[in-house]
Structure 1
Amino acid sequence: MIDADCLFCKIAEGAIPSTKVRETERVLAFRDLYPKAPTHVLVIPKDHYANVAELAAADPALAGEVLAVAARVAADDGIQETGWRLFANTGEHGGQDVFHVHFHVAGGKPLGPMLSA
């Protein structure tokens, strides 16, 4: 299922260009346009799910595939050994700004504390 008004659905369909780093039939990983670390890749299911809870409830196997692709991205970018962060913002208070579930793979430098006080 695709949402015609969704930025990430358009990227998944190829209507908006992205720098792809890994792709399966159901998952796409592409470089963030505004990276916060040397490696900053977004991993999305190609089908539209608004957030992590919706994806997990609807298709746990796809959620697992997204995580497997994220781990492969970290290995491909050479950050698996030094460490990396995987996170998904969910909802307004969680900092989600695109309401198509997406996971950030970030690393390549010390990332510091997860949350600020």
Structure 2
Amino acid sequence: MAETEPSIFSRIIAGEIPADVVFDSERIIAFRDIAPQAPVHLLVVPKTEQYRDVTELAAGDPELLAELVATAKRLADEHSDGDFRLVFNTGAGAGQTVFHVHAHVLSANGGGHSLQEGTLGQL
């Protein structure tokens, strides 16, 4: 079996690639997206490369998925008004470009601003 290259997220976790890290624990890291699609756009990433997408994570380690969602909520509370979208792209046809499970936390930055329905995911 051929070895695969580590994902960009594994390289960030290893400190090989710099990132604007906003959260770091034993099992999860979160950092700002380099191409934000909303005023607040954070990526919440398990430190294991074992799961390619959210369906694999849910089947293989539901506790880690629950921890990831709780971390997303905590970050939305800290970086905006607590209202947020949590997006998991699953598969290339759905826009997944890094096959290391991760969640996008998208939010307005508070102050009476909001994300309007239909403002994200334009074709």
What is the TM-score of this pair, normalised by structure 2?
A: 0.84
Check whether the contact 1:9–1:46 (CA below 8 A) recurs between aligned residues: yes
Residue matched to 1:75: 77
Identity %: 42
d(CA) in 1 for partners of 2:55, 2:106: 21
Residue matched to 1:112: 117
d(CA) in 1 for partners of 2:116, 2:20: 23
C-alpha displacement of 1:14: 1.4
RMSD: 1.7
Task: Specify the code of the residue in structure 1 equivalent to 2:7.
Answer: C
Aligned residues: 113
What is the TM-score of this pair, normalised by structure 1?
A: 0.88
Is structure 2 residue 49 aligned with structure 1 residue 50?
no
Residue matched to 2:93: 93
Stretches (4+) displaced over 3 A: 114-117
Check whether the contact 2:80–2:107 (CA below 8 A) recurs between aligned residues: no
Please list every run of 5 or more consecutive structure 2 residues that lacks an aligned counterpart in the other structure: 109-113
